[in-house]
Chains A and B, each alone.
Chain A
Amino acid sequence: MPFIPHTEDDTREMLEAIGAASLEDLFDEIPAALKIDGLDNMPDALSEMQMARLMRERAAMDGAPLCFIGAGAYEHHIPTVVWDIATRGEFYSAYTPYQAEASQGTLQTIYEYQTMMTELTGLDVSNASLYDGASALAEAALMAVRSNRAVKSKQVLLAPGVNPVYRKVAMAISGRQGLTFDYLPMNPQTGNVVFDSLDDDSSPVAVVIQQPSFLGTLEDVDRLTDWAQARGAHVIAIVNPTSLALLSAPGRWGAGGVDIACGEGQPLGIPLSSGGPYFGFMTCKQKHVRQMPGRIVGRTTDLDGNSGFALTLQAREQHIRRSKATSNICTNQGLMVTAATIYMSLLGYDGLTRVARQSHRNVARLAAGLCGITGVERAFDGPHFHEVGLRLDRPVGPVLDALAEKNILGGYDLSAEHPDLGNVVLVCATETKTDDDITVYVDALREVFASSAV
């Protein structure tokens, strides 16, 4: 019996102690009409050896393509230490640290994580993480509605560079509470907001600014933050943590700094893994802390006066407040945060800066190489971080298909979400790409363009 230790003698003795004749007797309170004989459509058990073989075959089917897709999930080098340590049983198989005295390892790790995230984002406090970047935006918007009591509207305005999937997720999670999410006008030349056409009479409860934008561009975050706060809106930043080694921290945007920062934590040592598990991070100004969703760890003292860590501000949470909680959330992405904390400790600010700079340089080289092909040009003016939009003289889909035939994942097709922009593909090259990799891509695209197939 897989993972069940009972011998026949154990089972007999235990049934005797209970006073039951058989295992079946233990289910005598369940109506007989409901009981089933067996499960249809359920395969027989495999041994670990058989299972390992099956999974190796399936993993091999997914191949090892040269990947230039970003669009919210980024391939970075993950030091061996990160998952060697994070999958130690003491981290991997522990539960939520409700029994603080028996969970100091997890709690101190989260406290260190919270510290690192506040340092990166330039804000005062961090929670212990949310599910992912997209759901973190939904929670941030709900939080802004709770904390911005001066504004009665539930309208959230989005800079044009906010990831369209994040908007969909925010609507699915918070739409039933009346929140709306509308885009501000985009300048198609820059991919950024058109300041001249902003409506000065609007009174949104929050304005969301993504930096770098989903289109790979860099927004004038100071000006947009000031515009939003001048009309009483709270500002929510969506940021890529790797980029914060270079780019201005949200806590310093504009005259006042943003109210809430959130984003996808995956670049900090989490494998791409088909989209999860990742983690969403969230930091905010001190004055908003009591409206923050999710777990928070605090440092306190024990009976001997020594320092220790515990979950705190639990009065916000569902297990205490039930229907009046700040959120229904009842997990953080603990293991992912453990990995990210190890990753940030290994890299440090200096290492993270090197990763960011190398990625920035690699995508610049890639874009320059690709733009050397007739029919390829930069889609947006202005600076980038580690992703660039390229406009093609033909539909993107068939080009990406042809590249995939050559074992290259050539980027993300923006034309589905932004048909108005034309045939734009978003390409990314992180520090994991060598100059040879870039040459392979450029040569492959040249071949594809030269063939009559696309």
Chain B
Amino acid sequence: MDALIFNKSRAGRRAFAQAPRNAVDVDIPQSLLRPDRPRLPEVSELQVVRHFTRLSQLNFSIDTQFYPLGSCTMKYNPRACNALAMLPGFANRHPLGPVSYGQGFLSCMFELQEMLMSVTGMRGVSLTPMAGAQGELAGVAMIRAYHDARGDHERTEILVPDAAHGTNPATATMCGCVVRELPTGDSGDIDFDALKGAVGPQTAGIMLTNPSTLGVFERRILDVAKVVHDAGGLLYYDGANLNAILGMVRPGDMGFDVIHMNLHKTFSTPHGGGGPGSGAVGVGERLLPFMPVPVVSREESQGRISYGWLAEDDLPQSIGRLSGFMGNAGVLLRAYIYMRLVGRDGMRRIAEYATLNANYLQARLRDAGFELAYPGRRASHEFIITLKHEARRFDMTAMDIAKALLDRNYHAPTTYFPLLVPECLLIEPTETESKETLDGFVTAMMDIAREARENGVRYKEAPYKMPVRRLDDVKAARDLDLAFRPDADEGRET
């Protein structure tokens, strides 16, 4: 590892240009003041620039590597989206400023709501959830509020397929629901008979991802919707895989009552090393009164258009507020800019070429001898290979191949998810990658497998070429070291 910023600290050094020069007195009683001196770094501006530039270079990123991380949609983040969202009028706008100083921003947000309704086929959109998981929370909370408003208080069970993302069951629990898992059939579709047996007067709803996390389209989706609706439940759409169907099919047409969208996936806002995300929610007719606030409104009077907010008074049945202000406004702006750059026809091309890239990569890896988890199926924008044979014959696990890929300058696909496929890699190339890049990845995968097969190479200790070797996760959890303490650090190697 590189030295910590704290190790570069020298008493009395600082970036003098960055703070007020005058020392002024404070009029606060001594009893409320802090007697101690927190140990923040004491470094120069150049040291800061060099330290964090150097740290950035230790990362893989979309801008530097192919990043086929399944279910994460790691596509190119257009630079214009960042530059235009950071224009001073937007960046400096106080969230509690009057709408008279926000018509530019609000017009973008209103149009974003409209465009998201268009691609999803929903009747209303609230932009306020700050990440996919918060969008899920909003969705399940709306489902519960809907049943409660009808006096249907017994509906507390949420159905979740066993292949679902972990946030689905975790969210249902946070909303005070009971989770009931549904098995997946051999071909990757939901076990339809199990579904029919599971629904009843206790069913609040079902949470589905379609295409599913197995990388295939749920072919009986209309039947699933009918069974759940007939039983009195509602359908929740996890928008993690919306990229696969943009402009082709709409969740609203499939029968979903509520969806969340991961704007940081489908609409290419940056992942930023783990956030910020944005999890806007869309709803059908039945859930319109329950949307989280605020929502952006538009009014036209005497030829003049003005934008404003809908809050608790306008939506008295709303599930409430999920953030201190209106959510991740800057992320929403980036998504808006991206959608305008892509436009109507571009939306469909995203789905087409994301699907083309996935099916091409799937075909090439299959031809190279890798086993597909669902060989009879068309891939959506992602697909799964299973390394169970390689694990048995060469002791080469999914984790090993992931680490071996890092040494070949490719980010690893998603490993060990979905949990029901053994030794799996979930691979999502996205539409912004070229054929040459995909071919290069296939070559790397073939090399890794051939080295294992022919030369007995094992990857237990890979990676070798990264800034660090394989890390000891067990030690990390056992001997917790979560913050630098100079006293505890003396004598240890840094």
Contacts and interface: CB of A to CB of B under 8 A. Distances in A.
* Chain A partners chain B: yes
A354 to B, nearest CB: 4
Give me the 7 closest cross-chain CB pairs, A-B, nearest first. A45-B343, A275-B325, A89-B63, A335-B272, A59-B89, A275-B95, A172-B320
A350 B23 CA distance: 10
Interface string A1-36: 111111000110111011110010011111101111
Contact of A351 (B15, B28, B270, B494): B15
A10 B438 CA distance: 11
Nearest to B326: A275
Interface in B277-327: 277-278, 292, 319-327
A165 B40 contact: no
A341 B4 CA distance: 12
Contact of A95 (B69, B119, B342): B69
Given A95-B271, A112-B5, A271 B91 contact: yes
A95 B273 contact: yes
Contact of B87 (A59, A119, A129): A59
Interface stretch (A196-204, A227-235, A311-319): A311-319
Contacts of A330: 131-133, 166-167
Nearest to B75: A3
Interface stretch (B97-105, B193-201, B226-234): B97-105
B88 to A, nearest CB: 7
Given A42-B119, A94-B271, A347-B40, A308 B471 contact: yes
Given A43-B343, A45-B345, A358-B24, A274 B323 contact: no
B105 A274 contact: yes
23 contacts: A29-B377, A35-B249, A44-B345, A45-B344, A55-B87, A75-B92, A77-B18, A90-B61, A101-B470, A102-B411, A102-B463, A103-B58, A109-B55, A131-B131, A172-B321, A252-B36, A275-B323, A300-B473, A306-B468, A307-B1, A308-B468, A318-B169, A330-B167
Nearest to B103: A61
A45 B59 contact: no
Contacts of A361: 24-26
A313 B28 CA distance: 40
A39 B101 contact: no
Interface stretch (A120-128, A144-152, A183-191, A441-449): A120-128
A56 B56 contact: no
B59 A351 contact: no
Contact of B97 (A65, A248, A297, A314): A65
Given A23-B356, A52-B80, A126 B343 contact: no
Contacts of B146: none
Nearest to A218: B32
A129 B274 CA distance: 10
Contact of A102 (B59, B329, B377): B59
Interface string A58-92: 11111111010101110101010101010111111
Interface size class of A (residues with CB under 8 A): 35 or more
Given A102-B60, A104-B59, A172-B322, 9 more contacts: A29-B216, A59-B88, A91-B59, A95-B273, A99-B60, A131-B130, A247-B34, A313-B477, A345-B40
B446 interface: no
A96 B327 contact: no
Contact of A120 (B38, B78, B411): B38
Nearest to B271: A95
A213 interface: no
Contacts of B31: 222
Interface stretch (B172-180, B387-395, B450-458): B172-180
B249 to A, nearest CB: 5
Contact of B115 (A42, A79, A301): A42
Contacts of B97: 65, 67, 69, 409
B443 interface: no
Nearest to A331: B275
A87 B271 CA distance: 11
B329 A275 contact: yes
B206 interface: no
B151 to A, nearest CB: 17
Most chain A CB neighbours (cut-off 10 Å) among B38, B45, B253, B406: B38
B447 interface: no
Interface string B114-126: 1101110000000
A303 interface: yes
A20 B352 CA distance: 13
Most chain A CB neighbours (cut-off 10 Å) among B82, B331, B476: B476
A174 B171 CA distance: 11
Interface in B367-426: 377-378, 402-403, 406, 411-412, 417
Interface in A209-226: 218, 221-222
Interface in B210-266: 216-217, 219, 221-222, 245, 247-250, 253-254
B435 A14 contact: yes
B28 A360 contact: yes
A17 B52 contact: no
Most chain B CB neighbours (cut-off 10 Å) among A120, A289, A313, A331: A331
A423 interface: no
Interface string A227-256: 000000000000000001111110010000
A425 to B, nearest CB: 12
Interface string A271-294: 111111111000000000100000
B153 interface: no
A72 B324 contact: yes
Interface in A149-195: 163, 165-166, 168-169, 171-174, 176-178
